[in-house]
Structure 1
Amino acid sequence: MRDGDILATVDLGSNSFRLEMARLDHGQLVRLDYYKEPVRLGAGLDENGHLTSESIARSCACLKRFAERLSGLRPTVVRAVATQSLRSAKNPEAFLVPAQEALGHPIEIISGPEEARLIYLGVANDLPQDNHRRLVVDIGGGSTELIVGVNTQASHMESLRIGCVSHTLKFFPDGRVTAKAMERAVTAAAARFEEVVEQFGAHQWQLAYGSSGTIETIAELCTELGDAPELITRAGMEKIFGRIVGADSKKWGFADLKPQRAQVLAGGLAVLMGLFAALKVDKMRPCYSALRQGVMIDLLERLTEHDMSTDVRYSSIARLARRWFVDVVQAERVQTMALQFWAQVDNGDVAARDWLAWAALTHEIGMAVSHSSYHKHGDYLMRHADLAGFSFTEQAHIADLIAAQRGGLRKWQNHLGNDSFVRAVLCLRLAVIVCHARTQIDAPDLDIMVSKDGVSWTVGQAWQAHFPLSAYLLDEEWQAWLKTGLAQS
């Protein structure tokens, strides 16, 4: 990345969609534009957990407007992430297909822990490096993220399925805020947060910060009602409750409260009051950076220096490999070989190269479950692990490679129309074969080609004579590719 380059992030939250654009200026990100629309995707789930056609259409209309502003930017500098509503929806593909077409960029569904990590990354970038242990709270439309950390390093992260939209719909469905309904809503929220007191109670931190729209709004209302500026207290929230209970939202009389935020204020207030009670929080300061800034910082780190050893994803993969007792020497051997093969067929897809590298390092994680069909067990473990730095989509790509590292290829016919997948899975399968003896081996005399006509490779006669078993296995692999119709005779 160079000075003047522009990055953009799109945050598809349960309450609002946000687009932020920034320019890189001497290593700092300077905001250029910010757009926010209260789409309320979380309220678009029907009783069966499916996103309705109306909510999908509303979302796509918003994303088309965002796409107009993003036009002209390289795909690599734009990252769009979706959170709780898409995580919980029973029909995410019904949303993703038209939404990605409307936006013109891929949309990643990120896990709750990954959302928490990125939120903390955004917030920590806005706070002083004071060595204090801090609690960071982000109340979204469908989930609340809790993080404890020091400076830029998070130590505990959690995502709970409770948010301002979901809590409002559950306890204030008709928009009326009664004392009884609020008492029930606060009690329910406190019970939810009591489950994580050990990790996030007051004994774990010194300062409390909050991010995103709900907490920003409550902080502004506390100040308007006489609290200290930029501070949320229990007394301040009690004053807000006293103003809204039993009254129509149009008569609350807050100076700058927007109608869209007023619709979910009661639920968000109940969530925060319950959190204060359960975690023994006395005061909280708002922070005006959140998920979208964290996503942008993470994107910048990926683009600035493509060095896996400094990538948070490398640490995640390494931890996963250790957890499942992977033979690291063999994994690195296969990775080195796979990347040497990739250099012969490189099509410029950096993401596919990375997925190949991660898959090679974890291709044997399934052996911790059973040697039989270990590639299938590895597929499952990769697909369902909590991995910092990865979206569900990225994990699925890596899991597909792990599953396809051995066995027949015809079951992957739908994936073989993807040029990058073909190149990556070919390199991984060949690397696993060449390194099957689990001893150090130099790169073989193997020339690989991948084109629109298919795949092919040639093996030097001398190498085949020296490694007859490997040559036999490579011939079997050739037969597997012949059955797909991709091998060039």
Structure 2
Amino acid sequence: MAKRTAVIDIGSNSARMVVYERTSRYGFYLLNETRSRVRISEGAYEKKGYLQPAAIERACRALSQFLSIAKSYKSRKILCIATSAVRDAPNRKAFIKRVEKELGLKIKVIDGQKEAYLGGLAAANLLPISDAVTVDIGGGSTDLALIRDKKVVAVHSMNLGTVRLKELFFDKKKPIEAAEAYIEEALSTLPESFKNGTAVGIGGTARAITKAIMQRDDYTVEKIHAFRFSASDEMKFLKKIANASVLKLSKYGIKKDRLDTIRPGALILMKVLEKISAKEVISSGAGVREGLFLSDLLRGSNHLFPANFDPSVRSLMDRFCTDTRLAANIASTASTLFEALSTPFDLPEALLKHLQVAAKLSRIGIRLDFYGYHRHSAYMVLNDLDYGFMHEDMILIATLIRFNKRRLPKNSFTKPYKKLLPDPDVLSWLSYIVSLAQAIHASNSYGTIKANYKKGVLSIEAPFDTYLAAERIKELEKPGSIAVKLTTS
């Protein structure tokens, strides 16, 4: 597979391009994202689906710029797909031929089933979910994928889209009941198997509504991907958006570029959540583009990452870890210490993975600055640990990393994230374990330790000289009454 791959998605509302760079077999990161609001579907639904000249011209100009950007990054592979508006257009062949002739770009038009599958594939691999229904509301269609045990087992596509409903109902000022009836008729084709307590929101409508909820609640994490909200709690909010006048939408936190399509989008989302009996919604920053990239990256592994593989952790390690063997040793030592201390101090087994990831990534900030590496490492995790973790996971890992030198977590740092973090006592012990694991390997020595806790004493046996380690351990702030006995085997 090419080291750098550009993926272009020509949607009904926007055209987007992402450029990914591979860092290892399965490791990758986003190098560039470019968006153009080409509105390829503008005027089409009122004119029997025909793409209009002005929309075609906008699309061609945007695609030309996309290719220039991809070339500047030396992208070896360019994947380009078009969805609902183009596949429904009687003049799509003329559009596709023009793009290929003028720009040398081949466009693959995918059907709704494929579109649904790619969205589901992205969610299954890049969110910590096993079972869910993905809901991708686009400009021309709404596509659903049923995920069971992290596999996409069924897909369904409907001609329900924000631009489609806007032009058919909202622009003509028809009663909202008419739009609701149209949606409900389309939803009547949805198989009964598409029932799930967890819905994954994909696409511009889901992102816009998520941003509005986060803004309203003064949410402390500035990241849409993996944000979770209650479906029942937000039904009234969705209804307000669907029924609001365009002038009042900004009052609800809707951004300018979504003012004309968010009302039909909110109405579709509301009806779909009711239909599938969703109890919670998880927002996804990944969708069709990521799914297309992953279908290429994972073509030899049944479109799934290996078990227990975290792509964001791998990418950070590939790019910023100065010594992967030492990082693995620190993580192993942290696990051994956790096993010794978990029972006496009531540390939840479910948090062991967070501890391991924090220990493994604790030194990645050294690439930026040695003296403040713990701060840099935490910042990098807060901003780049995108895939495979919920917000509470990411915040916990970042907090453990931020305080992995001498001090325990401070209230001034943790207060904004209080609702996302575990009990303060648990947090302190986890932080101490990461700091202790780092201290044990102060001489950058490798080896497997042994640990045992008894009557207030944590006995640690290491297969290397622990002179420097003993000094570092004495400097650590402790979360409770505990003595550390360190010996060399």
Q: Could you say which TM-score interval applies, normalised by the shorter chain?
A: 0.5 to 0.7
Q: Which residue of structure 2 lines up, in the alignment, with residue 33 of structure 1? A: 32
CA distance in 1, matches of 2:206, 2:249: 21
Cα deviation for residue 98 of structure 1 reads: 2.1
Contact 1:15 1:41 in 2 (8 A): yes
The match for 1:22 among 14, 20, 23 is 20
- Residue pairs, 1:419-438, within 5 angstroms: none
Q: Percent identity?
A: 26
Cα deviation for residue 44 of structure 1 reads: 3.7
Cα deviation for residue 147 of structure 1 reads: 0.8
CA distance in 2, matches of 1:258, 1:6: 32
Contact 1:11 1:81 in 2 (8 A): yes
Cα deviation for residue 197 of structure 1 reads: 4.0
Q: Which residue of structure 1 lines up, in the alignment, with residue 211 of structure 2? A: 220
Q: 1:37-96 CA distances to partner (integer Å, 9 max, x unpaired)?
A: 111112241523211111111111111111111226778611000011111100111211
Q: Which residue of structure 2 lines up, in the alignment, with residue 68 of structure 1? A: 68
Contact 1:10 1:292 in 2 (8 A): yes
Contact 2:197 2:280 in 1 (8 A): no
Runs of 4+ in structure 1 deviating by more than 4 angstroms, as ranges, are: 72-76, 226-229
Cα deviation for residue 286 of structure 1 reads: 0.8
The match for 1:138 among 136, 139, 143 is 136
Q: Which residue of structure 2 lines up, in the alignment, with residue 169 of structure 1? A: 167
Contact 2:124 2:152 in 1 (8 A): no
- Tell me whether 1:277 sits opposite 2:267 in the alignment: no
Q: Which runs of 5+ in 2 are unaligned?
A: 220-226, 304-489
The match for 1:188 among 179, 182, 191 is 182
CA distance in 1, matches of 2:255, 2:99: 27
Cα deviation for residue 259 of structure 1 reads: 2.2
Cα gap change, 1:287 to 1:235, in 2 (>3 Å): same
Q: 1:405-428 CA distances to partner (integer Å, 9 max, x unpaired)?
A: xxxxxxxxxxxxxxxxxxxxxxxx
Cα gap change, 1:254 to 1:102, in 2 (>3 Å): farther
Q: Which residue of structure 2 lines up, in the alignment, with residue 249 of structure 1? A: 247
Q: Tell me, what secondary structure is at the counterpart of 1:43?
A: coil
CA distance in 2, matches of 1:126, 1:74: 26
Structure with more helix by fraction: 1
Cα deviation for residue 249 of structure 1 reads: 2.8
Contact 2:21 2:30 in 1 (8 A): yes
CA distance in 2, matches of 1:291, 1:244: 25
Cα deviation for residue 15 of structure 1 reads: 0.9
Q: Which amino acid aligns with 2:140?
A: G
Q: Which amino acid aligns with 2:234?
A: G
Q: Over the residues paired in the alignment, what is the CA RMSD in angstroms?
A: 2.6
Cα deviation for residue 31 of structure 1 reads: 0.2
CA distance in 2, matches of 1:220, 1:166: 23
Q: Which amino acid aligns with 1:155?
A: V
Contact 2:246 2:260 in 1 (8 A): no
Q: 1:117-150 CA distances to partner (integer Å, 9 max, x unpaired)?
A: 111111112112x5x3211111111111111112
Contact 2:203 2:287 in 1 (8 A): yes
Contact 1:66 1:103 in 2 (8 A): no
CA distance in 2, matches of 1:34, 1:197: 35
Cα deviation for residue 151 of structure 1 reads: 4.2
Contact 1:222 1:232 in 2 (8 A): no
CA distance in 2, matches of 1:15, 1:284: 23
CA distance in 2, matches of 1:58, 1:92: 15
TM-score when normalising by structure 1? 0.55
Q: Tell me, what secondary structure is at the counterpart of 2:69?
A: helix
Cα gap change, 1:217 to 1:102, in 2 (>3 Å): farther
Q: Which amino acid aligns with 2:139?
A: G
Cα gap change, 1:158 to 1:68, in 2 (>3 Å): same
- Tell me whether 1:91 sits opposite 2:91 in the alignment: yes
Q: Which residue of structure 2 lines up, in the alignment, with residue 148 of structure 1? A: 146
CA distance in 2, matches of 1:191, 1:281: 19
- Tell me whether 1:209 sits opposite 2:204 in the alignment: no
